[in-house]
Amino acid sequence: MHSVGFYVCPGHQVLDLAGPLGAFESVAAVLGRPAYELRVLSRAGGMVRGSAGLPIATQAARGAELDTLLTIGGELAPMLDADEAAAVRELAQDAARVASVCTGAFLLAEAGLLRGRRATTHWRAARRLQQRHPEVQVETDRIFVRDGAVWSSAGVTAGIDLALALIEADHGIDVARQVSRELVVYHRRAGGQSQFAPISHMEPESDRIRLALGFARDHLHQDLRLERLAEAAHLSPRQFGRLFHQETGETPAKAVERMRVEAARARLQDGAESIERIARAVGFGDPERMRRAFLKWHGMPPQALRRKERAPRA
């Protein structure tokens, strides 16, 4: 039987654990037989208190033999502890695959398991992960990322998407779909679909990057190539691109696209403008480019999002 271990630290987020655990547990109901042996582990074992103050019973990690190891997100300080990283590194040695949910990516990184790999985490923590571990290619705009035998997911409910993807890898897409129905969730958002973090939550340290973001926000309808943003920041394009990614965790082009999506969404909600007019007003130029951006960031085209957000008011 495939053994799955969920590694928790003090201050773990309950839903980061409960969502994936529930998904793996539901496979037995779909198949009509046990499919996974599920264990919650911690460095010392015993009761481990989560971020909400709820304690959970765990087994000691030492000596556990796992096929899949998942590190569960939560408060960052415990996951930066060298002893916790050493325990995860030892667990991962014989595991066929390792994965993280939300800020659990920090624990994999501290254990050296993300070196030279692509990974993701909750959008709010992505910049810190990139700064602390420049050897990791942090993809801030993904629901989950697979790099070989190492998987990582974005925050909280994205752990369910990750678990469904792992189940699909083990048992096929039909079983994963049936599990999603058991959980009453959408059948796994694609890993390539983006987390949607509001641009307002970007907090660059330097005045120059803040200046460039402000310029972009005020000139969305214009051509905002790298060179123009660099000029607004009084930096060379090369310096600007490097500093922008360092301080925001993403490229200038991606940030501009996100700002345009935010602006377009607000106009979709607030008025009866046509899709064509909105696309021109926020700098997409044509409806097809805007449609592709909305599919990327929201998983649905502008028309569908407008209908969805107007339905409750109706």
pLDDT digits (tens, 9 = 90+) for 240-264: 999 998 888 789 999 999 899 989 9
Residue 194 in any domain: the answer is no
Are 49 and 94 members of one domain?
A: yes
Is the pLDDT at 95 greater than 50? The verdict is: yes
pLDDT computed for residue 250 by the predictor: 83
pLDDT digits (tens, 9 = 90+) for 7-20: 999 999 999 999 99
Where does residue 63 fall: left (phi above 0), alpha (psi -120 to 50 degrees), or beta otherwise? left
Q: Are residues 135 and 171 in the same domain?
A: yes
**Among this protein's residues, is 102 annotated catalytic?**
yes
206 and 161 in one domain?
A: no
pLDDT in tens, 104-148: 999 999 999 999 999 999 988 988 999 999 999 998 878 899 999
As for how many domains the chain has, the answer is 2
Q: Is the pLDDT of residue 271 over 80?
A: no
For residue 193, tell me if it sits in a domain.
no
161 and 261 housed in the same domain: no
At 293, which CATH number? 1.10.10.60
Tell me which of 137 and 191 has the higher pLDDT: 137
Is residue 222 within a helix (H) or strand (E), and if so which, with residue range? none
d(CA 310, CA 270): 10
- Could you tell me if 141 and 254 are in contact, meaning their C-beta atoms sit under 8 angstroms apart? yes
The domain containing residue 291 runs over which residues? Answer: 199-310
Range scoring the smallest mean pLDDT among 22-31, 65-74, 126-135, 267-276: 267-276
Catalytic residue selected from 15, 102, 111, 259 = 102
pLDDT in the model for residue 156 = 82
